[in-house]
Structure 1
Amino acid sequence: MTTQSALQSYAEPGPLTTAEPGTAAVLTGLPSTLPDLIVAVQGLLIHEPGSAQSATGHLRMTHQILAHLLAADPRPLIEARPPAQRLAGCCRHFTLLAVAVLRAHGIPARARCGFARYFVPGLHGDHWVVEYWNAATSRWILADAQLGPVLCAALGVSFEPNDVPREQFAVAGDAWIRCRKGELDPSRCGLEGEGQSGWWWIAGNLIRDVAALAKMEMLPWDVWGAMPGPDEPINDVLADDLDQLAAITADPDTAAESRALYDNGRFRVPVRVYNFLRRTDEPVIEIT
């Protein structure tokens, strides 16, 4: 069961979803209701295959995203930018901005890291979505801020992006459990391409999901702590720990309880992390 203290925590900004002092109105100027919020976010960001190679693709903090957007176009963010002036990012940036806006409006929300079934047939593709609390129905709902009408039509998506069915998106813990039971092939969890799927990828996403539940929404290629590398076996001790984390995080009503285990030094986000794509150690919180 989701506690009131957990809801209160997720209704407040975290280190990466905080606007700079005096600029909170920038976030509250965006819609607090879905699907209006999804439309607004899509008018500000653009997903590009090469976004991970651009400077903006590596931004970790909401206030950095806002600064880039307003520097390129000082109009209120409710006004959609032309595609050329949208910030290039990945699914995590769409998710982060949507979560930041919902929290700025006092609505419990969190980022979830896992695997979507609706991008490539037969593949549980690496992906991030929003999980927000619907007070009217007293339940956590998944929303994909990246899914616009054109993309939905191209993919044949029939569900509403503001209410993604759980069978269409597996949070990392659910994917881990299903693979352990033999119900899901770990080689089909990740991305297409050699070495971009498997147990190590699922384990990394599970640890990133636990961090996101602790309000540390990291980049998909940030690496730290117990995350195994592509060629590293997962030993029994780590597997047991991941079993425990998966059991807690797979259920949205108990997911917040993982925050107690997050303080384990192997899972907690350190001051600096390894950016796998840039091959560099980088600070998580950048002081400007």
Structure 2
Amino acid sequence: MTDLRDWSRHSPYSDPGRHAVLLDDVPTDIPGLSAVARNVIVHYRGSGLELPASTRNDIHSRWLAVMLEIDQERHRKPLAEPRDPTDRVQGCCRDHTLFCVGVLRQHGIPARSLVGFAGYLRPGYNHDHVIVQTYDRETQRWVRFDPEIAEPTETLPTPHDIPAGADASFRTAAEVWQGCRAGSLDPHLFGTGPGSDFAGMWFIHNYVLMQLAHRYADELLLWDGWGAVSLPGGPPDSTLALIDDIADLLIAVESAASPADESRLDALLLQRYGDDERLHPGMSVTQYSPYGDRPLTVPIARGPGHGNSHAAPASGAPDGVSL
């Protein structure tokens, strides 16, 4: 079986740095943890609030250590103590998830992020989304939860234990890609919102790559570009077979029938991720912007040993990272 210790060690992204003591005091039960995540981070476009333009660049804080630094500069108090919503760190589902993953790993609990599409946020549409997977040692299974959903809803009655499967209310990017390629799903119903240009096959294609990266501790921003990531108008024919293959492997490892199968498939997928330069970020990524700002080339350190053995090809925070 995949060594669960791999998922309970920090990646460069989830490492809290000098603010580790703050995470020690955060509860690890799913409702309590999710509440603290929402207290620290406010969704930059989904909150319904008019947030300060002066803090909008919070959304590019790719490292948990930087998010915590921003929070403490503004509040200087434990993470569970209430913050005014407009003074919280601006972020998105990826950031709520990274916060929860960081807390769980800080407590030695296996956790990782899962990239896909949620059908429970808007009727008739499937929004791009990132949720948490944590391993429940008592039931010996990976539990999925959405830290942004505080209470059960009609469309998501179990936000703290979300069902898995291609027909579930949350589908992984790989499941959506496979369904669209087979013609059973409409790709125009998957993206950032109805009528958005950030939807369809090119977007789903990129989210398969994002799902792969997040599984192996490269918990990248949702607007990062690297390798085989496609621009609008794609995806190119040259990468269709590659994404088909990766999607099949991601689905297979998530639904493995036995620990032995999971371990074998995980080793195969991790090797593919590390060996193929189209799949993993290199020394830099292209950071795009949901605000339409010009793309930036952002250098990232790369290399093994950043505290997570699954992160051999993973990127790390640049030396001297600062706000």
TM-score exceeds 0.5: yes
Q: 1:240 deviation in Å?
A: 1.8
Partner of 2:287: 275
Q: Of 85, 93, 96, which aligns to 2:87?
A: 85
Partner of 1:12: 9
Q: Where in structure 2 are the equivalents of 1:11-30 lying within 5 Å?
A: 11-21=8-18, 23-30=19-26
Provide the secondary structure at the position in 1 that maps to 2:178: helix
Counterpart residue type for residue 286 of structure 2: Y
Distance 1:205 1:92 in 2: 12
Instruction: Work out the number of aligned pairs and report it.
Output: 279
Distance 2:266 2:68 in 1: 28
Partner of 2:36: 40
Counterpart residue type for residue 159 of structure 2: P
Contact kept, 8 Å, 1:159 with 1:165, in 2: the verdict is no
Counterpart residue type for residue 89 of structure 1: G
Q: Of 35, 38, 62, which aligns to 2:64?
A: 62
Provide the secondary structure at the position in 2 that maps to 1:129: strand
Structure 1: which 5+ runs fail to align?
A: none
Counterpart residue type for residue 79 of structure 1: E
Partner of 1:106: 108
Counterpart residue type for residue 164 of structure 1: I
Partner of 1:261: 272
Partner of 1:205: 207
Partner of 1:191: 192
Q: 1:160 deviation in Å?
A: 2.5
Distance 2:101 2:235 in 1: 34
Contact kept, 8 Å, 1:213 with 1:259, in 2: the verdict is no
Contact kept, 8 Å, 2:228 with 2:279, in 1: the verdict is yes
Superimposed CA distance per residue, residues 16-48 of structure 1 (whole angstroms, 9 cap, x where no aligned partner): 011214x32211211122121111111111113
Provide the secondary structure at the position in 1 that maps to 2:121: coil
| More displaced stretch, 252-261 vs 195-204 | 252-261
Q: 1:74 deviation in Å?
A: 0.9
Superimposed CA distance per residue, residues 147-182 of structure 1 (whole angstroms, 9 cap, x where no aligned partner): 124xx65xx444232112220111111111111221
Contact kept, 8 Å, 1:95 with 1:129, in 2: the verdict is yes
* TM-score computed with the length of structure 2 as normaliser: 0.81
Q: 1:4 deviation in Å?
A: 4.1
Counterpart residue type for residue 273 of structure 2: Y
Please report the RMSD computed on the Cα atoms of aligned residues, expressed in angstroms.
Answer: 2.0
Distance 1:190 1:176 in 2: 12
Distance 1:141 1:261 in 2: 26
Distance 1:24 1:49 in 2: 28
Counterpart residue type for residue 172 of structure 1: A
* TM-score computed with the length of structure 1 as normaliser: 0.90
Superimposed CA distance per residue, residues 204-253 of structure 1 (whole angstroms, 9 cap, x where no aligned partner): 00101111011011111111100111113431x52222122111212425
